[in-house]
Amino acid sequence: MQAIATTAQSLPTDLLPAPQPEAFLQGNNHLNQDPVLRELDTVVRTHTPLVKHLARRFAGYGLPLADLVSEGTLGLLTAARKYDPGRGAQFSTYAGYWIDHRMRRALDCQAPTIRIPCGTVDRIRALRQARADLRNQLGREPSAQELADKLKTDVPAVKRLLHGDVRAYSFSDAQDGHTEGERPVYDLPDTRQPSPAAAAMERDSRAFMHRTLDQLPEREATIVTMYFGIDDTAPQTHVEISRQLGVSAERVRQLLKRALQRLRAVLLDQRHELAPLLAC
């Protein structure tokens, strides 16, 4: 896997949208003889069911399933490029984050109902999260300065988003000649509604995940959540977690190892619950 990660680092980030690894290698005999590329091909084919399973969660959000699978495969290649076996995480667990991330970003940037630049989408999401966090902490609406401090940016940048310098409207409505009034992006509802089946699967998966984590000691559950980026947060390193919890990075590593051992035992006892969640 380390060889795959090293080789994948040299791959271009903007790959063709419909990977066909087997056909590609069959048509390029010199590549077919490369053991690292053959192993990379095996990784892609082995994890294609995972990509398809995650893609089905986003059915009905605005992109065809085939496009979601293609984006997820690119996320899988990103995971191969970044994967570090020394961190102790299983590759499939690590890859799941990047597959999901790539699909969500594709929906943000390509779904036909919303026209917002990708960078702006990221800033809006960060602003919404910061507002929610500060509102919970302060018990009131945060000021622009407090938001700027939280986001590590300046007040004018926050005000541009808050006061609607960046605006968006429904593309389909505009084609019909019925544009929405110019409203700040953060006030627009999310029009990408999941299908009932996808929503139910998402609820079941999250409920199972939280039931499992609830069986860990609180600190271990917190470390697992932070390390793997559970609940739509970015994965954090041992050092980043240690700074937040006030312990050494080595202590974080020890607690994470213990937590994963506990989780393996729990999951073995709950295999009957996993079956419907992993069905593809």
The count of structural domains within the chain is 3
Token pair 């409203």 is at which residue?
Answer: 183
Residues 10 and 98 in one domain: yes
The reported pTM is 0.36
Looking at residue 250, what is its pLDDT? Answer: 92
- 79-112 pLDDT, tens per residue? 888 887 777 778 888 888 889 888 888 877 765 5
Domain check: are 106 and 132 in the same one?
no
**pLDDT (mean) for 118-123:** 66
Q: Tell me: the pLDDT tens digits for 18-58?
A: 444 444 444 444 445 556 666 777 778 888 888 988 888 87
pLDDT score of 128: 81
Report the candidate in 228, 196, 200 with the shortest Cα–Cα distance to residue 95.
228
Q: Give the structural domain span for 234.
A: 196-278
| Claim to verify: residue 168 and residue 75 sit in the same structural domain | no
Does 235 or 191 have the greater pLDDT score?
A: 235
Per-position b or e across 192-212, b if 16+ CB within 10 A of its CB = eeeeeebeebeeeeeebeeeb
Q: Return the minimum-mean-pLDDT range out of 23-27, 68-72, 74-78, 172-176.
A: 172-176
Residues 94 and 50 placed together within one structural domain of the fold: yes
Q: What CATH number corresponds to the domain at position 157? A: 1.10.10
Question: Does the pLDDT of residue 178 top 80, yes or no?
Answer: no
Instruction: Decide if pLDDT at 2 tops 50.
Output: no
* The one-letter amino acid at 7: T
